[in-house]
């Protein structure tokens, strides 16, 4: 309930101040486990992803430092976020993400690994592919336009483009599957970016 209330308020805010528009929301699978993969330019991108997918709740990995902030840490945890240690192989975070997907929920990830404001799609990491391969979850590519231009008292138009959900294809070895799957995610993000 808290998630729906907060999302509704933020959605209205985005519509009023940023003329927020979403294309392709119909591509979101309504029942299976799903990994939403998106580009990342601004700290508000998790809000954008959550508000773009009105029919399901999105859970996010968030850097562990955020959970140490009084009150704020408790709020984001109640909204479905869970901590991850950046720059390390955080097995606990991976297990939590895997469990979310096995429970047929939606996991949000930014596979570029950090924020880029240069208006380009960068090389992505393999974590989303590994989770999709291990859990059987669908991958939903998403592109966010406009948040790289967001600054104090600047309200750029924010648009979101969502592609078709797909599964990571099987290969002769797990390594090959991860490599090919990561390349597939990247190519789909790049296609959305270039055709947005």
Domains present along the chain, CATH in parentheses:
2-57+104-195 (3.40.1130.10)
Which residues are CB-contacts of 91 (< 8 A; sequence separation ≥ 6)? none
Distance (Å, whole) CA 55 – CA 20: 17
pTM, two decimal places:
0.93
For residues 155 and 19, give the distance between their C-alpha atoms in angstroms, rounded to a whole number: 9
Q: What is the per-residue pLDDT for 88?
A: 65
Mean residue pLDDT of the chain comes to 93
Q: How far apart are CA 154 and CA 121, in angstroms?
A: 23
129-139 pLDDT, tens per residue? 999 999 999 99
Residue 190 has pLDDT above 80, yes or no: yes
Q: Please state, in angstroms and rounded to a whole number, the distance separating the CA atoms of residues 177 and 162.
A: 24
Q: What tokens appear for 22 in the block?
A: 């979403």
**pLDDT tens profile 37-84:** 999 999 999 999 999 999 999 999 888 888 999 898 888 998 999 988
- Using CA atoms, how far apart are residues 110 and 190, in angstroms rounded to an integer? 14
Chain segment 150-168, per-residue pLDDT in tens: 888 889 999 999 999 999 9
Q: Confirm if 131 and 83 have CB atoms less than 8 A apart.
A: no
Q: Which of 87-91, 126-130, 181-185 has the lowest mean pLDDT?
A: 87-91
- Residue 1's DSSP bridge partners are none
Closest CA to 132 of 37, 30, 31: 37
Quick one: pLDDT at residue 162? 98
- Nearest-Å Rg of the Cα atoms of the chain is 16
The confidence band for 91, taking pLDDT boundaries of 50, 70 and 90, is: confident
């Amino acid at each position: 309930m808290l998630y729906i209330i907060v999302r509704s308020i933020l959605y209205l805010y985005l519509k009023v101040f940023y003329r927020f528009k979403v294309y392709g929301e119909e591509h979101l699978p309504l029942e299976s486990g799903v990994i939403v993969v998106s580009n990342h330019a601004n700290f508000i991108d998790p809000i954008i992803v959550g508000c773009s997918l009105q029919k399901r709740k999105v859970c996010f990995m968030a850097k562990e430092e955020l959970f140490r902030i009084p009150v704020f840490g408790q709020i984001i945890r109640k909204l479905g976020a869970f901590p991850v240690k950046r720059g390390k192989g955080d097995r606990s975070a991976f297990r939590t993400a895997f469990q979310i997907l096995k429970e047929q929920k939606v996991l949000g990830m930014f596979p570029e690994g950090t924020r880029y404001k240069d208006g380009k799609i960068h090389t992505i990491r393999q974590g989303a592919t590994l989770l999709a391969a291990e859990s059987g979850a669908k991958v939903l590519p998403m592109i966010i336009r406009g948040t790289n231009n967001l600054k104090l008292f600047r309200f750029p138009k924010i648009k979101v483009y969502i592609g078709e959900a797909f599964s990571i294809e099987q290969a002769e070895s797990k390594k090959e599957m991860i490599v090919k799957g990561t390349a597939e995610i990247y190519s789909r993000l790049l296609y959305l970016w270039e055709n947005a």
